Structure 1
Amino acid sequence: MGSFSIWHWLIVLVIVMLVFGTKKLRNIGQDLGGAVKGFKDGMKDADAAADASTQQKISGGQTLEGEAREKVEKTHS
């Protein structure tokens, strides 16, 4: 009772096709695929922005550290 056979799934598929029609199902599939692709692209962009931000922080920290060393060396001289 808990598992469905291939015949159950075929009957469900036929009923869904009769209710919605193949054109509407195709449009739903395209919309869903576009949404997934957009989500993946957005995640890649967010990762790239986070990496760029991290690189700026690292570079900025090294610059400040270098400037601090120069100031310390000048005051000790």
Structure 2
Amino acid sequence: MGGIGIWQLLIVLLIIILLFGGKKLRTLGSDLGSALRGFKKEMSDGETPSVEKKDADFTDTKTEQKDKTNT
């Protein structure tokens, strides 16, 4: 008791099909599939970065140039 049985799931599925229609659900499924494929592709591309990232350079170049000219 308290668990969801197969009959409850079938009734919920039937209500969803009646509300949205078969064509709308098919379109929704294909959109979801393409979104998942894109997500997986981006995740696998993230493991091998194609762009080299540099750390920020926080040195003050004007101060360094003044120090070089004063010496």
The alpha-carbon deviation at position 7 of structure 1 amounts to 0.4
Residue type at the aligned position of 1:2: G
Q: If the length of structure 2 is used for normalisation, what is the TM-score?
A: 0.66
1:12 equivalent in structure 2: 12
Instruction: Output the amino acid matched with 1:4.
Output: I
Structure 2 Cα separation of the partners of residues 24 and 12 of structure 1: 16
Query: Displaced runs of 4+ in structure 1, greater than 3 A?
Result: none
SS in 1 for 2:48: helix
Provide the residue aligned with 1:21 in structure 2.
21
CA RMSD of aligned residues (A): 1.7
* TM-score scaled by length of structure 1: 0.61
Identify unmatched segments of 5+ residues in structure 1: 54-77
AA matched with 1:26: R
Identity, in percent, stands at 50
Residues matched between the structures, number: 52
The structure richer in helix per residue is 1
Structure 2: gaps (5+ residues)? 53-71
